[in-house]
Amino acid sequence: MLFVTGLCTDYVSDRGQVVRAAQDVSFEVPAGKLFTLLGPSGCGKTTTLRSIAGLERPRAGEIRVGNDVVFSKDVFVPPNRRGLGMVFQSYAIWPHMSVFENAAFPLRVASKRISRQELRERVTRVLKTVDLADLAEREATKLSGGQQQRLALARALVMEPRILLLDEPLSNLDAKLRERMRFELKRLQRELGITTVYVTHDQSEALALSHSIAVMNGGRIEQIGSPREIYERPHNQFVADFVGSTNFLEARVLDREGDYYRVSSQIGGMKVRATEPLAQEEIVTISVRPEDIELTETRKDGENAWEGTVHQKVFLGESVDFVVTIGEHQLQCKAHPSLRTRVEEAIYLRMDPEKCVALKRS
Amino acid sequence: MSTANPAITADAVAARGPRFDVKWLIVGVCVALTLYLAVMPLGFLLWQSFFTPQSAAKAAEFTLDNYRQAYASEETWTLFWNSLQFAVGAALIAFVIGTGLAWMNERTNTPFKGLFFALSVIPLIIPGILFTVAWILLGSPKIGLVNLVLQQVFDTDAVFVNVYSLWGMIWVDGLHYSPVAFLLMTAAFRAMDPALEESAVMSGASVPQVAARITLPLVWPAVFATVLILFVRAIESFEVPALLGLPVGIQVFTSAIYQAVHRYPSQIGLASAYATTLLLITTAGVYFQSRLSSQGSKYATMTGKGFRPRTIDLGRWRYLTTAIFLVYFLAIVVLPFAVLLWSSLQKFYAVPSMEALSRLTLDPYRTILSYPNLTRSVWNSLLLALGSATIIMLVTSVICWIVVKTRLPGRWLLDNIASLPMVFPGLVLGLAIMILYLYLPIGVYGTIWIMLIAYVTRFMPYGLRYNTTSMLQIHKELEESAAMSGASWTTTFRRIILPLLKPGLLAGWIYIVIVSVRELSSSILLYSPGTEVVSILIWELWENGQYVELSALGVMLILALFVLVLAAQWLGRKFGIREA
């Protein structure tokens, strides 16, 4: 449904410097899917989204919506003719209009005239979808944050856009509300089956909502994949570190063993997985997530098993975080709160080779 | 991904060609108008000051004579010296009074503080010419009430005050601009964190020590900027020097320009040379003032916390401050208005006495209401005020959109050019526009259009400022979301931006209506029979010596402006709340 190819967008910052915000960004979003651009602030995700919207003019590349080219070397369709819906970070609810008028605006300015009756029906329907039908006549400024967010969504949906663009729509809500709106948004997107591009810096939001995720850094896409792929098979250190927390271990590749590799790491010999083929003697970084390290008070035998000492421990209610020392190296581990090993005591670790991912050095 | 040529929509094709966009037409017209209005008169003024007058027999020739004549003569240095004394004196008087009141209002427990803020609108309500006339009735050596009262009290013939003097001019002008100082200094005091003063009190400092060693040094940049603004205002002012200075031969730049134009044959070249000098002075003033304001961040003490400062308890001294306030209120509002009211109820002007009291009459009102030029002047004033306010607010809303919301190169230049008329004294602008349309044969000279052009040019910076304040509060995304909803630029401007600008638009509009109605110094060089405005009518009545009719017209004008100001404040409150 959406095809972005080789997109490059620069902009001039307030200080007059040219910022390379998006560089050679390419991806496609199949119809009905929710695609997330994830990355730290300044990584170019919002610029990419605004380029799709037509609010920024890219330097190079091509953007296609369905079969229509909306941007290429000599085509630039202005934002008001692209027929895309967008929810802004600030919601951008017009304070001088009622809830109903805000939602009706796209229909009122559309080039295709519709009857008053149809307009009322469509606006009411969309307000019902976001559960605001009762507040239609209220002044838009009298809405709570969550309600404003839903009104912004209603306004973006009312013209039945081909694609819905969401720019950090949950970042202005408090934590509790954010969690609820996350489910709400997911349900709505899945029910309406609307193709959606979602921008966020919050990895848990991205993992919870998306069909697929593009992790961006420094204007480039680092990896595109399903939430599970991104989390379990990161392609490089940046992705592994940005999405969730992880332990990094330096290692040297010894040899290959079927689907696995045997390496010599900072904490000794290990058996690991790799996303790309590795050469012998290659120096790699092993990423192991804290929750993938199994902790026990009894010695375990077999592959990837170590003995360590508890260095620090933090009780978090649903889990306990341990910092375990093996030799001179420290590892973060997450365990069930039933594990009560004390600081300075010995503890035994084991890692599933499947969960130890070898990352190539870049 | 398929790379086969995708079907291109009609939209995309349309976007490819040089499609005509109303947006660029509107933007282009507004920018062109601004540039034309702000730059052309200045250019012609400079040009004129270097050329001999053009006549049917002889074309204009380049000359330095105007400057030679202007600067070789002894008179000019007297002029320069007078102007400087007058402007510095008036600025200091206004500053001392305004700052004292602002401090009393913001930092002490003086009673009647509620009335203070009513003061800030006085210069808007009482036009300069009426204020000056009222003070002539109060302070002239022969008929001045102040003199008469004091002479009776002390039983002498001595003249106590004489407004027809440099000191008189300084006093009247300084008094008239003191509310401006009050407003500016109040803002400065409010921007200061009261904790800074409180900590000085806690360190054991007395009230005068706190004022001298903490408060004043902190508001120092504001002090300097305020004095500069007052200086520029004073050196520009025309009514006081013309009414008080000319009869006794004290000339300053503004009155000299007026006389050079009104002499026969008129010496426009000489007037231009004076005007250029005056323009240089005001430009320097405005330049330093804006430099000061922009680097004020070093001293910015605002914490954003809206704490009302703990006021200083003056103890018994607060009776003194109350008395000062009451005397001030008397001098700036009660006495001028009362004396105008009194004189408007007499057949011929007479000083108040029991006998005169018995002769009260409404005759002056009848005379002025049937005055042949009245209806036409009122109509002209209204037309000019409403027309210029509407044009300015709409055009500057577009200019301000370009400056605030776009990244067009050169937008800062546009902002500066649109603010350029700020440095023009009204009289200089009038002169420049007069010269421009004398040479530009498009038929506006001598019509009401030339005055509309003058008003729009002169008050454009105010419109820009009101609009900029509002525009800065409109989040970029409010506009972008309209574009994403499918609205074109024109629709977005009309349905999103203008409604959101409404509070600023309305406030600016009313402000411009008010200042346009009072406008005298530009109009005086541009009006011709048939295009008189109310302030010109007052001027003519003064020249004819029709004081009682003038007073009657003045009283009605003050009341009308008062209603307008009330409406403006009411609207400001009403829309101000919704904005927040």
Q: Find tokens 């005091």 and name the residue.
A: B189
Cβ–Cβ under 8 Å, residues B383 and B451: no
What number is the ipTM of this complex? 0.77
Going by pLDDT thresholds of 50, 70 and 90, the confidence category of residue B56 is low
Q: Are residues B108 and B51 in the same domain?
A: no
Tokens of B564: 């307008």
Cβ pairs A/B, distance under 8 A: 101
pLDDT value at B181 more than 50: yes
In a domain, B7, yes or no: no
In a domain, B528, yes or no: yes
In a domain, B536, yes or no: yes
Q: Are residues B374 and B292 in the same domain?
A: no
* pLDDT value for A120: 93
In a domain, B401, yes or no: yes
In a domain, B545, yes or no: yes
Summary mean pLDDT of chain A: 89
Q: Nearest-CA residue of chain B relative to A63?
A: B6
Residue type, A79: P
Mutation pick from B3, B484, B575 vs chain A, by most beta carbons of A within 10 Å, is B484
Cβ–Cβ under 8 Å, residues A358 and A251: yes
CATH of the domain at B275: 1.10.3720.10
The answer to whether the Cβ–Cβ distance between B486 and A69 falls below 8 Å is no
Q: Nearest-CA residue of chain A relative to B575?
A: A96
Is B22 at the interface with chain A, CB within 8 A? no
In a domain, B299, yes or no: yes
Residues of B (459-488) whose Cβ lies below 8 Å from A: 475, 477-478, 480-488
* pLDDT value for B268: 80
The answer to whether the Cβ–Cβ distance between A81 and B484 falls below 8 Å is no
pLDDT value at B11 more than 70: no
| Mean pLDDT within B526-544 | 90
- Of B313, B337, B361, which marks where a domain is finished? B361
Going by pLDDT thresholds of 50, 70 and 90, the confidence category of residue B262 is confident
The answer to whether the Cβ–Cβ distance between A12 and B407 falls below 8 Å is yes
| Mean pLDDT within A261-287 | 88
Is A303 at the interface with chain B, CB within 8 A? no
In a domain, B5, yes or no: no
pLDDT tens-digit profile of B472-521? 888 888 999 999 998 989 999 999 999 988 878 888 888 899 889 989 99
Whether the bond between B409 and the residue before it is cis, its omega within 30 degrees of 0, is no
B12 interaction partners in chain A (CB closer than 8 Å): 68-70, 75, 77
The answer to whether the Cβ–Cβ distance between B486 and A96 falls below 8 Å is no
Going by pLDDT thresholds of 50, 70 and 90, the confidence category of residue B240 is very high
Residues of A (189-208) whose Cβ lies below 8 Å from B: none
B484 interaction partners in chain A (CB closer than 8 Å): 53, 55, 79-80, 84-86, 156, 165
Going by pLDDT thresholds of 50, 70 and 90, the confidence category of residue B55 is low
Closest C-alpha among B501, B497, B495, B499 to residue B467: B501
pLDDT tens-digit profile of B267-301? 888 888 888 888 888 888 888 887 776 655 444 44
| Percent of chain B clearing pLDDT 90 (strictly above) | 24
The Cβ-side half-sphere exposure at B127, using a 13 Å CA radius, reads 28
Q: Are residues B255 and B394 in the same domain?
A: no
d(CA B534, CA B545) in angstroms, rounded, equals 16
B485 interaction partners in chain A (CB closer than 8 Å): 80, 105-106, 109, 155, 159
Q: Nearest-CA residue of chain A relative to B498?
A: A96
- Of B316, B337, B361, which marks where a domain is finished? B361
Cβ–Cβ under 8 Å, residues B448 and B384: yes
Angle at alpha carbon of residue A159, lines to A153 and A165, rounded to 5°: 45
pLDDT tens-digit profile of A46-92? 999 999 998 888 999 999 999 999 999 888 988 888 889 999 888 88
Going by pLDDT thresholds of 50, 70 and 90, the confidence category of residue B72 is confident
Higher pLDDT, B354 or A270: A270
* pLDDT value for B149: 84
Higher pLDDT, B81 or B44: B81
- Of B361, B387, B416, which marks where a domain is finished? B361
Q: Are residues B406 and B539 in the same domain?
A: yes
Residue type, A187: R
Lowest mean pLDDT among A152-161, B187-196, B220-229: B187-196
pLDDT tens-digit profile of A142-160? 888 889 989 999 999 998 8
In a domain, B399, yes or no: yes
* pLDDT value for B19: 53
**Range(s) of the domain holding residue B562:** 20-56+362-580
Cβ–Cβ under 8 Å, residues A71 and A54: yes
pLDDT tens-digit profile of B371-430? 888 899 999 999 999 999 999 999 999 999 998 888 888 888 888 888 888 888 899 999
Residue by residue, DSSP assigns A198-238 as EEES-HHHHHHH-SEEEEEETTEEEEEE-HHHHHHS-SSHH
Residues of B (406-435) whose Cβ lies below 8 Å from A: 407
* pLDDT value for B53: 66
Q: Nearest-CA residue of chain B relative to A4?
A: B1
d(CA A48, CA A335) in angstroms, rounded, equals 39
The answer to whether the Cβ–Cβ distance between A96 and B499 falls below 8 Å is yes
* pLDDT value for B6: 39
Q: Are residues B175 and B289 in the same domain?
A: yes
The answer to whether the Cβ–Cβ distance between B475 and A92 falls below 8 Å is yes
* pLDDT value for B58: 64
Q: Does the pTM of the predicted model rise above 0.90? A: no
Q: SS3 sequence, A33-90? A: CEEEEECCCCCCHHHHHHHHHCCCCCCEEEEEECCEEEEECCEECCHHHCCCEEECCC
Alpha-helical runs (H) found in B108-215: 113-119, 122-125, 128-139, 145-154, 166-190, 194-202, 207-210
pLDDT tens-digit profile of A187-200? 999 999 999 999 99
Instruction: Closest CB to A77: pick one of B11, B477, B484.
Output: B11
* pLDDT value for B114: 67
Summary mean pLDDT of chain B: 82
d(CA A119, CA B99) in angstroms, rounded, equals 59
Q: Are residues B408 and B526 in the same domain?
A: yes
Q: Are residues B35 and B123 in the same domain?
A: no
Q: CA of A88, closest CA in chain B: separation in Å? A: 7
| Mean pLDDT within B7-33 | 64
* pLDDT value for A18: 78
Ordered structural domains, chain A, with CATH: 2-240 (3.40.50.300), 246-360 (2.40.50.100)
Q: Nearest-CA residue of chain A relative to B8?
A: A68
B407 interaction partners in chain A (CB closer than 8 Å): 12
Is B308 at the interface with chain A, CB within 8 A? no
Angstrom distances, CA of residue A36 to CA of A203, A225, B544: 10, 10, 81
Q: How many domains does chain B contain in total?
A: 2
Q: Are residues B28 and B90 in the same domain?
A: no
* pLDDT value for B8: 37
Residue A155: exposed, middle, or buried by beta-carbon count in 10 A (0-12, 13-18, 19+)? buried
Q: Are residues B518 and B443 in the same domain?
A: yes
Given strand A220-225, what is the order of strands in its sheet? Answer: A85-87, A163-167, A195-200, A34-38, A212-217, A220-225
Q: Are residues B393 and B521 in the same domain?
A: yes
Going by pLDDT thresholds of 50, 70 and 90, the confidence category of residue B574 is low
Q: Nearest-CA residue of chain B relative to A67?
A: B6
| Mean pLDDT within A334-343 | 90
Tokens of B141: 């050596």
Instruction: Closest CB to A79: pick one of B484, B491, B502.
Output: B484
pLDDT tens-digit profile of B201-219? 777 777 777 777 777 777 7
Q: Are residues B188 and B290 in the same domain?
A: yes
pLDDT value at B66 more than 80: no
Kind of pairing, strands A293-296 and A212-217? unpaired
Q: Are residues B180 and B231 in the same domain?
A: yes
Contacts of B218 (CB under 8 A, 6+ apart): B192, B196, B299, B301
* pLDDT value for A40: 92
